[in-house]
Structure 1
Amino acid sequence: MARTLRVLAWVMGIACVAIGLFHVVAGMSAIPGAGDTDATVDSFGRFMGAIFAGYGLAWLWAARQMPIPTVAVRLLTGVFLLGGLSRVLSIAVAGWPDGFQVLLMAIELGLPPVYFWLADADERSARARA
């Protein structure tokens, strides 16, 4: 389970950095269904891309630790889950988004239980080895 956590942390980190940088470079054209927007929305989207890249760097930092800190995994997972719950709130307020956004929401709601379950796997494995 510790190896699974480490692999998932690396994959999450790399994916978030790549997605975030793509949003910084491409702006609102990186968002399926976004259509034409004004400079304010484009600025916000690029800023959030930078924040998402930073979130990915936090995952990469955690993945490099020996053992991976349980607290870091839980905090980063909580942020990811909050993103998914925010999409649910958006559906309640504004309606259904593009289908790709719905797929992302499913990932953001489905993956956190796995991370929460594995959160202490690396620390438990280190204690067992000691």
Structure 2
Amino acid sequence: MGKFSLQVSQMVTAEVTQAKALAGALLRWETRGPGDTENAMRRLARRHGIEYGQLWSLRYRAPKRIWADVLTKIALAYEAERDRQLRALKHETELTASIAAGADLDSVSKARAVLRQAADAADVVVVEDRQRLRGRNA
């Protein structure tokens, strides 16, 4: 007779998977280098009002379920950070185009293509959903 494993695999909901993916992206954007993971989680928690323990849990020990307000905060933080990065890319693209004598550079045209693609993707998101998320978080 063989030994049976008493461990039961954990069922993770779609919301937990979504929150884990969004938190992972936030952490990748915020991390400044090796060994900065904990500090990056603390900075994100402070900046966006998400508890550090929730971010830690999503990274190292995914919960079985997640509260709607936590998921909303993480989704809003993701959107805010994404918008911040797109604004920075737009600024750097304009700066590079003005310094490097125009938009004929390949890097400038690629950056502008990314910005157009991001603007098109943002148009797909329904405005009412954004307002509903912000209203719930207020």
Classify the TM-score, shorter chain.
0.3 to 0.5
More helix by share: 1
Which structure has more relative contact order (CA 8 Å, sep 6+)? It is: 1
Who wins on radius of gyration, i.e. which is larger? 2
The TM-score with structure 1 as length reference comes to: 0.40
